[in-house]
Structure 1
Amino acid sequence: MAVTTPSASPLTALDVVRDAPVIPVIVLYDVRHAVPLARALVAGGIRMLEITLRTPQALECMRAIAAEVPEAVVGAGTLRSAQDAEAVLRAGARFAVSPGFTPALARACRSAGLPLLPGVATSSEILAAQDEGLSALKFFPAMQAGGVALLKAWQGPFADVLFCPTGGVQPGNARELLALPNVACVGGSWLAPAPALEQGDWNAITALARQASGLRPDDLK
């Protein structure tokens, strides 16, 4: 169930993963790209935006989008510490994504009011995340760790968990992943390709977002 407006409160992890078929994994090196990119993605039907903490400009990009694109829901990716959680919250992030899971990070995000999608790749990590009350998880690195086969194996023991597979996900395999009952959405970097960013080809990014918005499980049924 999608949230009704970007400013709806409180936002939950389920709201995040159920909003659209794809959460774009965005790496920004130029703050000038942040706002037009966000507008282009929103125009194509994608508004949950994961801005990764992989560049020195990431926090400034989050602040710009939060201030100038109210239709977007700013998320922060690559969180690794409680300090990261505090920093992205101040920058306007409304949800968080991490490459792995620790109880300390889960508690820091909960204290900050940031819904967290922690990365998991094993059954033990899923159990640890559930111990912290988390039931919407990022499966990372998805294709390298087992892909569709592992997700199918998890359906039995973890029927109450929803996953966002990320890592090696492309349009060619996204549909098969989205057809699984325990996959709510996928994460992918193809919605913000570096050449389009460098050229300012926002129409191309909107077209990619529209295509991603149409990656529904029903397409395979």
Structure 2
Amino acid sequence: MTSPLPPFPAASVLDLAPVVPVVVLTDAADAVPLARALVAGGLPAIEVTLRTPAAPAAIRAIAAEVPEAVVGAGTVITPEQVDACTADGARFLVSPGWTEALLEAMRGSGVPFLPGVSTTSEVVALLERGVREMKFFPAQAAGGTAYLSSLAGPLPQARFCPTGGIGPKTAPEYLALPNVGCVGGSWMVPADAVAARDWGRIEELARTAAGLRPSGGSGA
């Protein structure tokens, strides 16, 4: 029997930290020390993507052994994955896109979720369904800050976590936008540092990311 998830520690996934690390793990044994390094650096929200076979075990390990982390599942694309990830302990869900079936499953999961969008029509369709918080993906390729800025006027009720092609230099530009709550990125978990198990380096990169502040605007 699955234990109930603890209460979510913020009003929204978008309010946990300015940056959500997007983590790809090939060895689930790295999950706990990696999560501890990210939390120590000030980034408690951790998106473990379902791109490798190790992801489910990694989510379970972080959920069980790093209670100060808020572990989520990314690259969720099927209703079956929604059920499996929440059973594993994922406390939020992120998808690169959405369908009616996937949206229904995420709604019924009982955890916060960020369905992916890259067009105005997709944003409007989600707003029509009562969803106001979304992942903007792939952020840089889909128009970047210029595109999101243009959405803020006609669709101010939508809030985004842009992800895809964002780094430490561009993150503050996104965070300065009024319709961006946080950004997703992987620059603080570089593959070479994970492979070397250099948790100290990852902690320092996380600390720098956690300290990012908008160069202008509210970023709220």
TM-score, normalized by length of structure 1? 0.92
- Give the superposition deviation at 1:187: 0.4
User: More helix per residue: 1 or 2?
Assistant: 1
Q: Alignment partner of 1:143: what SS?
A: coil
- Give the superposition deviation at 1:8: 5.1
Task: Report what 1:86 is aligned to.
Answer: 83
* Contact 1:106–1:132 under 8 Å retained in 2: no
Task: Report what 1:3 is aligned to.
Answer: none
Per-residue CA distance 1:68-116 (angstroms, 9 max, x = gap):
0000011000000100100101110010000002222121011111211
Task: Report what 2:164 is aligned to.
Answer: 167
Q: Does 1:138 align with 2:169?
A: no
- The one-letter amino acid of 2:7's match is S
* Contact 1:22–1:185 under 8 Å retained in 2: yes
- Give the superposition deviation at 1:131: 2.4
Structure 1 gap ranges (5+): 1-6
Task: Report what 2:43 is aligned to.
Answer: 46
Q: Does 1:210 align with 2:198?
A: no
Correspondence 1:79-118 to 2 at 5 A: 79-118=76-115
Correspondence 1:1-221 to 2 at 5 A: 9-10=7-8, 14-217=11-214, 219-220=215-216
* Contact 1:66–1:92 under 8 Å retained in 2: yes
Identity over the aligned pairs, expressed in percent?
54
- Give the superposition deviation at 1:134: 1.1
Per-residue CA distance 1:179-201 (angstroms, 9 max, x = gap):
11111110001121111111111
- Give the superposition deviation at 1:11: 6.2
Aligned length in residues: 213
Across the aligned residues of Structure 1 and Structure 2, the Cα RMSD in angstroms comes to: 1.4
* Contact 1:101–1:129 under 8 Å retained in 2: no
- The one-letter amino acid of 1:64's match is A
* Contact 2:12–2:112 under 8 Å retained in 1: no
TM-score, normalized by length of structure 2? 0.93
Structure 2 gap ranges (5+): none
